[in-house]
Chain A
Amino acid sequence: MAEIYKLIHPLKYFTDYISREVRPDGRKFDEQRNIKLNVNSLKTAEASAVVKCGNTTVVCGIQLELATPKAEEPDLGYLVTNLELPALCSPKYRPGPPSDHAQVTNYLVSDIITNSKCINLKDLCIVPDKLAWVLYCDIVCLDNDGSLVDACIIALMASLKTLCLPSVTYDNDTEDIKVNADIRTPLKVHGLPVATSFAVYKLPDRNILLTDPSAYEEEMCGGIGANFIVCSNEGLLCGTQKFGGSNLLSDSQEESLKISRDRTNVVKKVIETSIKNDNEFVS
């Protein structure tokens, strides 16, 4: 019965739930979905992680490569993120070249990483002007059920935290490069940026903030990309993004900042526990 109701009155169905202070999947407004995180999941990648936030599933793998730094910035390495939204992750995407949404989300993710300054690109340089690491971070979404940016950031950060760079010796005269894969040093990661998405739903008299929205909720609250994303790293905000959708009042902003603070702590704990767990498993 509810299914038919949803089909006939999509908007009313949703407002009926919201006005009863509950979301269609039974969560409270400020409740997030369960997160499952697995690190070092792919054996072909140098570092990897799989994360499930509710149904949203994202895989991240990091490949290493050596390259010469740019002439303008001789002491910086590269961190390249690439987000793929294949047709299998949502019926909204078509196979073919990356969609606009994939490009924009990728830009957001790499923007958050640069703004949070969690990776110092100078750490990736081996010999200035000659040799530097390139981190190719490939993020693939297997199932997009909302809050994509959050999941991408968790997967990416968990992978970066587990990444160990092999030691490299470079001979200045012969330009000979020797890579020793047995001696590895972990990459320095400063802090841990965490993104929290909110969907803003407008009731006639007030704004409702839905934490960690699912794809269906995003759809009802102004479509893809209208989420309000708060990103923080070590107590500092490193990006608040909102593109269109319903308007955001200032008191809901306060609320969102508070929720994101709580969530940041929880997510941090998840990543740390997961890595600790992994280390125990290896040893």
Chain B
Amino acid sequence: MKDVFLSNCEKSFLQRIVSEGHRLDGRNYNESRRLNISFGSEYGSCIVSLGETKVLAQVSCEVTQPKQIRPNEGILYINVEISPMAAPQFEANRQTDLTVYLNRLLEKCYKDSKCIDLESLCIVVEEKVWSLRVDVKILNHGGNLIECSSIATLTSLAHFKRPDVTRSGDSVIIHTIAEKDPIPTVLYHYPVCMTFAIFNNDVLLSDPSFIEESVCTSSTEEGINTGGGLLVVGMNQYKELCLLDLNGAALYDSNIVHKAIVSAADRSKEIVDLVKKIIISDDTMRQKRSKINFADIITSEHMLSLTQKELTIQLKNYNVDDMTSKTERMQVEDDVKSEPSKYDVVPSLPQTAEIVSKKGGSQWIEISSDSEEDQ
């Protein structure tokens, strides 16, 4: 399906209310949507929802050979997928510009910022290292994918625990989780990407929704850009800048970047604190052996949800004894009936055998079209 286009009236309406100091969903300029993080049963799997935007992240690990230039470092691999589930305009199994852009931003934010201690992932130098793979799947595209998927990546990396290994001589034994407690990944710092939508070169909206994102990057009907754009700021909890990316119009006022960074500093602290808190509470839950599962996402107070406890079936007209006796009888009948096979097995040419139907030519049935017309 082709991209969804915004109508001019939608566009101008949004621009007008933004210039008057409002937002479509009633938020303040620097207010973000509700952030919600839930974990799956495995380590390193989480669903992050930011308003309506939902992202699933899953970290998996395997033992591989290290790269030749970095023989003592593990490998981090990030893969973003946007399926038609995110929004109807995306096609299955096809990379869009958005996928590539998102992937690159996350790589910049988590690989190039060196937030993960890759050396601790090394098992045997030049031979065996852990390779971490983060799979980010966009479930619902409600705007600000960058911030949402970045929080998902961060949370799943911080939550992930890899199995413990012991080296004995040449061989490496990988312990299962039941055998030995798994090891958490070491993160030096927690970077998060935040998105700001810029309107008219002076208004900053944090956490833009889908429609705000599309309006601020689009141009007016005359083809003149309105001085809008998307600014991505990557920052860790120590207020250190890791990434800066501008999409859209050229900015003539550099103060706006400064303003964005100041507001990102507060927000990043908030997010990282939340992520840390939620991981600790999840850990204590797990230690108490309570079950954590994605099924917990389904809340029963929702109008369109339904829960049913264990369902039991009443046995009606059903008896196992009945069943078997019936089939036994059937088999007896079969034995009696067992007629000679209708087919002959004929050894013909060398190495060849054939099944030929015993009955000769089959009867022809004439379907005359005349009779059809008569009807």
Q: Which residues of B contact A40 (CB under 8 A)?
A: 351
- Chain B CB within 8 A of A246 CB: no
Query: CB distance B343 to A266 under 8 Å?
Result: yes
Query: CB distance B364 to A277 under 8 Å?
Result: no
Query: CB distance B351 to A278 under 8 Å?
Result: yes
Q: Which residues of B contact A219 (CB under 8 A)?
A: none
Query: CB distance A36 to B352 under 8 Å?
Result: yes
Query: CB distance B351 to A39 under 8 Å?
Result: yes
Contact code string B101-132 (vs A, CB < 8 Å = 1, else 0): 00000000000000000000000000000000
Beta-carbon nearest neighbor of B355 in chain A = A35
Interface residues in A26-62 by Cβ distance below 8 A to B read: 26-28, 31-32, 34-41
Interface residues in B338-370 by Cβ distance below 8 A to A read: 341-343, 345, 347-357, 362-365, 367-369
Q: Which residues of B contact A5 (CB under 8 A)?
A: 367, 369, 372
Bound state CA distance, A1 and B356, in angstroms?
30
Interface residues in B317-353 by Cβ distance below 8 A to A read: 330, 334, 341-343, 345, 347-353
- Total residues of chain A contacting the partner, CB 8 A: 38
- A223 CB to nearest chain B CB (Å): 21
Q: Which residues of A contact B343 (CB under 8 A)?
A: 32, 266
Q: A26-B362, A262-B341, A266-B341 are in contact. Are A273 and B357 (CB under 8 A)?
A: no
Beta-carbon nearest neighbor of A9 in chain B = B372
Q: Which residues of B contact A20 (CB under 8 A)?
A: 365
- B204 CB to nearest chain A CB (Å): 48
Q: Which residues of A contact B362 (CB under 8 A)?
A: 22, 26-28
Beta-carbon nearest neighbor of A50 in chain B = B352
Bound state CA distance, A40 and B349, in angstroms?
13
- Chain B CB within 8 A of A101 CB: no
- A43 CB to nearest chain B CB (Å): 12
Beta-carbon nearest neighbor of B367 in chain A = A16
Q: Which of A26, A38, A265, A266 contacts B352 (CB 8 A)?
A: A38
Beta-carbon nearest neighbor of B361 in chain A = A26
Q: A2-B367, A36-B354 are in contact. Are A273 and B330 (CB under 8 A)?
A: no
Count class of interface residues, chain B: 20 to 34
Query: CB distance B347 to A277 under 8 Å?
Result: yes
- B179 CB to nearest chain A CB (Å): 16
Q: A262-B341, A273-B345, A274-B347 are in contact. Are A34 and B357 (CB under 8 A)?
A: yes
Query: CB distance A31 to B355 under 8 Å?
Result: no
Query: CB distance A38 to B349 under 8 Å?
Result: yes
- Chain B CB within 8 A of A243 CB: no
Bound state CA distance, A38 and B353, in angstroms?
7
Query: CB distance B354 to A34 under 8 Å?
Result: yes
Contact code string A253-273 (vs B, CB < 8 Å = 1, else 0): 010001000100111011101
Q: Which residues of A contact B341 (CB under 8 A)?
A: 262, 265-266
**Most A CB atoms within 10 A — which of B351, B354, B363, B367?**
B351
Beta-carbon nearest neighbor of B350 in chain A = A281
- Chain B CB within 8 A of A170 CB: no
Q: Which residues of B contact A35 (CB under 8 A)?
A: 354-355
Beta-carbon nearest neighbor of A12 in chain B = B372
Query: CB distance A31 to B357 under 8 Å?
Result: yes
Query: CB distance A278 to B357 under 8 Å?
Result: no
Query: CB distance B351 to A274 under 8 Å?
Result: yes
**Most A CB atoms within 10 A — which of B349, B352, B362, B372?**
B352
Query: CB distance A277 to B351 under 8 Å?
Result: yes
Q: Which of B330, B342, B353, B354 contacts A31 (CB 8 A)?
A: B342
A-B contact count (CB 8 A): 78
Q: Which residues of A contact B352 (CB under 8 A)?
A: 36-39, 274, 277
Q: Which residues of B contact A38 (CB under 8 A)?
A: 349, 351-352
Query: CB distance A269 to B345 under 8 Å?
Result: yes
- A15 CB to nearest chain B CB (Å): 11
Beta-carbon nearest neighbor of B339 in chain A = A262
Q: Which residues of B contact A32 (CB under 8 A)?
A: 343, 355
Q: Which residues of A contact B367 (CB under 8 A)?
A: 2, 5, 13, 16-17
Query: CB distance B334 to A270 under 8 Å?
Result: no
Bound state CA distance, A32 and B345, in angstroms?
13
Beta-carbon nearest neighbor of A49 in chain B = B351
Beta-carbon nearest neighbor of A37 in chain B = B353
Bound state CA distance, A4 and B369, in angstroms?
10
Q: Which residues of B contact A269 (CB under 8 A)?
A: 345
- A230 CB to nearest chain B CB (Å): 16
Query: CB distance B354 to A258 under 8 Å?
Result: no
Q: Which residues of A contact B334 (CB under 8 A)?
A: 258
Q: Which residues of A contact B348 (CB under 8 A)?
A: 36
Q: Which of A1, A31, A278 contacts B369 (CB 8 A)?
A: A1
Query: CB distance A277 to B350 under 8 Å?
Result: yes
Q: Which residues of A contact B363 (CB under 8 A)?
A: 22, 26
Beta-carbon nearest neighbor of A261 in chain B = B334
Beta-carbon nearest neighbor of A8 in chain B = B369
Query: CB distance A273 to B353 under 8 Å?
Result: yes
**Most A CB atoms within 10 A — which of B348, B355, B362, B368?**
B355
Bound state CA distance, A17 and B349, in angstroms?
35
- B48 CB to nearest chain A CB (Å): 33
Bound state CA distance, A267 and B334, in angstroms?
19
Bound state CA distance, A190 and B345, in angstroms?
22
Query: CB distance B356 to A34 under 8 Å?
Result: yes
Query: CB distance B357 to A281 under 8 Å?
Result: no
Q: Which residues of B contact A274 (CB under 8 A)?
A: 347, 351-353
Bound state CA distance, A222 and B44, in angstroms?
43
Q: Which of A1, A254, A266, A278 contacts B355 (CB 8 A)?
A: A266
Could you show 7 A-B contacts with beta carbons less than 8 Å apart?
A37-B354, A38-B349, A258-B334, A265-B341, A270-B345, A271-B353, A277-B347
Task: Give the 4 A-B residue pairs with the shortest CB-CB distance, closest first.
Answer: A274-B353, A26-B362, A273-B353, A281-B350
